[in-house]
Chain A
């Protein structure tokens, strides 16, 4: 029965490592997701700035 500590150590470390890896995947998704959203926002803003004629065409012609 004294070897049972090795058994529990093996199981504990295995699931700890897999758990840490899952957590790190989750963090990567969060970080990349927010970075992608931010870059897409920048790209949309940059697109609008680069095409002012499309912006003025949409403004009402008030005389």
Chain B
């Protein structure tokens, strides 16, 4: 963490990144303690149900990442300022990681409970579609030769692709699915004991802060990358 923050030049930025890093580490450690020592064992699913405490935050953060891409993409197309494209690129990488983790934890959880690693259930399928949308976002940027045009096309994909998020969320209501119905965000209130709810909230906050930290670091990296490209171009121009 020290290396990460030491190479960031502005002292104020490095300071608050260090704080974020320390806070996320502490909260993640606390959440692990709560998951294994405080949250009760699920009567129906047993110990494997504790994967829920990773599965839910990673799902919400994959939605959040795409929401950031959606907003940044609109702002980029309207304002054409590089910072919005940088934010979208940074959020896309994180979103891809978190969507991978959702699919992974869901699959590992599903194997002992449903007896299968995968099923073409509406929730799982629409989440896989989201993973492919993220992949398409990177491929689009990599294979369009002109960086500005690539940024514009990626922004359009970022806006259009966002439509998958509400479809994923509503999939368990619209279609008959193997995936459980929502148990935290419900009109009747959360359907879980208080100890589980506390554990979910702490883990969610821990992952959110970790997400903010990773996004900030990635954004600084993209800013530096743009500076390198600009400087390289200027040096080539002046010989």
A interface residue numbers (CB < 8 A to B): 1-4, 6-7, 9-11, 13-14, 17-18, 21-22, 25-26, 28-30, 32-33, 35-36, 39-40, 42-43, 46, 50
Contact = CB atoms under 8 A, between A and B. Distances in A.
Contacts of A40: 231
11 contacts: A7-B50, A7-B51, A10-B54, A10-B104, A11-B51, A11-B54, A13-B105, A17-B97, A29-B220, A42-B235, A43-B235
- A contact patch SS: helix
A6 B50 CA distance: 10
A21 to B, nearest CB: 6
B47 A29 contact: no
Interface in B13-71: 45-48, 50-51, 54, 58
Contact of A25 (B50, B104, B210, B221): B221
B101 A29 contact: no
Given A36-B228, A36-B231, A30 B3 contact: yes
Given A14-B104, A25-B221, A32 B51 contact: no
Contacts of A43: 231, 234-235
Contacts of A46: 235, 238-239
